[in-house]
Structure 1
Amino acid sequence: MSWFKELWQNSREKGQYYELQAQKYLVSQGLKPIERNYYCPFGELDIIMKEGNTLVFVEVKFRKNNARGGANYALSAQKQARLKRSIYHYLAAKNLTNQALRIDYVAITGESSPTYNWLKNVF
């Protein structure tokens, strides 16, 4: 059993930990954090960042290993649809129009020495 399992009480805590790690990684790549864990009736936006004038919505997925494709293949069509609806909700709630935006995906694989795969403009 991995000692990592002892760090979290539930999967939400684990998700928040890896979202924070992804945010730190993206900040090191030059992005500016705007908001985390935006909840709406359609779902949750993990991280919202800015790169220049572009609003970047980041979905984060963690998998402990590469079984079944690992985190790189964890973004289902259903999740993509919920993500799009959540983004539309966010833009309307914040009254943002004519805003350049991008949807990125950060796949984190591995517990003790995680690898980060940042995919820009995924859909």
Structure 2
Amino acid sequence: MKILPISRPALGAEKERLACRFLEARGLRLVARNHRCRLGEIDLVMTDRGVLVFVEVRYRRSARFAAPAETVGPRKRQRLAAAAGHYLQQHPTRLPCRFDVLAITGPDAIDWIQDAFRVDE
């Protein structure tokens, strides 16, 4: 029996589910998944003890060329901030916000970077 490789979208969805379970096990609560707009996409929107958290999930099979978190450069941060602004226009809140990166390497090595960047950077 031949095992077919998993498609990129399916692999991305699988890693986002893994990330969500990882964060929920640490007390975060899921608010929204895959908020898309023309400005960008937010993988997960969660709450963490009174803070609204925009989570970018990054996956790499290995860190040989770059660790997953290193792939969130200035342009990606701008797109995340713009998408978060769009989300907040659609869902106003008084909660403070932060941006986290959840980097997955290999099958399940996870590095959670809380407050990974600020919009004013």
TM-score greater than 0.5 by the shorter chain: yes
In 1, the alpha carbon distance for the partners of 2:9 and 2:72 equals 17
Unmatched tracts of structure 2, length 5 or more: none
String of CA shifts for 1:79-119, please: whole Å, max 9, x gaps: 1100000000000011x1433111100000013xx210000
User: In proportion to residue count, which structure has more helix?
Assistant: 1
Q: Tell me which amino acid in the other structure corresponds to 2:94.
A: N
Contact 1:64-1:70 within 8 A present in 2 as well: no
Instruction: Provide the C-alpha distance between the structure 2 equivalents of 1:28 and 1:107, rounded to a whole number of angstroms.
Output: 16
Q: Distance in 2 between matches of 1:91 and 1:42?
A: 13
Q: Quick one: which of 90, 95, 103 aligns to 1:93?
A: 90
In the alignment, what sits opposite 2:50?
53
Aligned with 1:21 (options 15, 18, 36)? 18
Instruction: Say how many residue pairs are matched.
Output: 115
**For 1:105, which of 101, 117, 120 is the aligned residue?**
101
Structure 1 unpaired stretches of 5+: none
Q: CA RMSD in A?
A: 1.4
- Point out 4+ residue stretches in structure 1 off by more than 2 angstroms: none
